[in-house]
Amino acid sequence: MAASQDHEWRDWLRTLPKAELHLHIEGTLEPEMMFELAERNGVALPYADVQAVRDAYRFTDLQSFLDLYYAGAGVLVTEQDFHDLAMAYLRRAHADGVVHAEIMFDPQTHTQRGIALDTVFAGLARALREARDTLGISGYLLLSFLRHLSEDEAFATLEAALPLRETYADLWIGIGLDSSERGNPPEKFARVYARCAELGFRLVAHAGEEGPADYVRGALDTLKVARIDHGVRSSEDPDLLRDLIRRRVPLTVCPLSNLKLGVVRDLRDHNLARLLRAGAVVTLNSDDPAYFGGYMLDNYVASAEALDLSRDELVTLAANSLKASFLPSTEQARLMDRLSTAAGQG
């Protein structure tokens, strides 16, 4: 794609209403903000400057990223910090044509450092409500358990958060599972997910990013999730892939993340186009955009370019994101109408 064409595509893609369904708010911490918050909170950073942080972002696999990601989150201390982090992301997403964001956060990363759970909730919620009122972008929160920790610790986190449920009922609608996948199969969290289902939460889990297709099967059948985060290794098991397609289980794919973490060597080798063309409900997302070098539009443009996606396929990806969201069906229908209009004007 020529440079001028790239701009045209970007402008057109921006106009398509899209939902971002796989986004870790801690992964939107840009190096500039990391320094600003470190100074505000008197936290020491092991980097000389912003460039040194960016230079450190050369990841070999998921764990090499997670080590820096958890360390970076150490600058988040006050309610204002969580607000500022989320507000910066929501502005950015809004500018990319994201109309709805379902945002994961890792409470255990913060409570382990002595940050109160309500500090995290309150800051994120204030930003989401402010963005809804001022930008017209809606959002939900997905509380995510860290899978390298025990199921008992996940239960303790859930118990600690439940008293806050009513206060954040308009936002906290679901549960996720993230962090180091290999060696931490979904079955480890079977009981806590069953409890979350009983409580009426919507369920998602990371599976099939670095872990095998079996983990996707486990997330689907044992955890009973409504969506699979990543899921790109599902294609290694034809029976599983057939089931995902038949049951219309959305996959929240993150192309630039997969590239940066070595899940794929080249975006041209990414299987998202093959999955889409086989009938899977593929959505595009940015995962941890501050660390992986791209927000929502960057993921769309890079994928379109590397995989030769057609305009119809790009509209399908946007439509999938709206339909795979946890928004009420009336709101989904309203956004689908907006999408048809925008797509027709390209």
Footprint of ligand HPA (CB under 6 A): 24, 27, 62, 69, 178-179, 206, 209, 257, 287-288
Residue (96 or 229) nearer to ligand HPA, CB: 229
Least distance to ligand HPA from the beta carbon of 169, Å?
Answer: 25
Residues 6+ apart with CB under 8 A from 206: 147, 176, 177, 178, 181, 229, 230
| Residue 147: both structure tokens together | 């899978």
The answer to whether residue 209 is catalytic is yes
- Position 276, amino acid: L
Q: How far is the CB of 342 from ligand HPA (least distance, A)?
A: 29
| Least separation in angstroms between CB 287 and ligand HPA | 5
Residue 140 or 145 having the CB closest to ligand HPA: 145
Q: 7 among the known binding-site residues? A: no
Q: Helix, strand, or coil here: 206?
A: strand
Q: Which is nearer to ligand HPA, 259 or 339 (CB)?
A: 259
Q: Which is nearer to ligand HPA, 17 or 294 (CB)?
A: 294
Smallest gap, in angstroms, from Cβ of residue 62 to ligand HPA?
A: 6
Residue 148 counted as an annotated binding residue: no
Alpha-carbon distance of 283 to 275, in angstroms, equals: 11
Which residue has the CB atom at the shortest distance from ligand HPA? Answer: 178
Are 232 and 253 a contacting pair, CB within 8 Å?
yes
- List of residues contacting Zn ion (CB under 5 A): 287
270 vs 232: CA distance, rounded Å: 9
- Catalytic residue, chosen from 79, 181, 209, 210, is 209
Count Cα atoms within 13 angstroms, Cβ side, for 123.
23
Please report which residue ranges of 255-328 form alpha helices under DSSP H.
255-260, 272-277, 289-292, 296-307, 311-323
| Binding positions | 22, 24, 206, 287-288
Active site residues: 209
| Binding positions for Zn(2+) | 22, 24, 206, 287
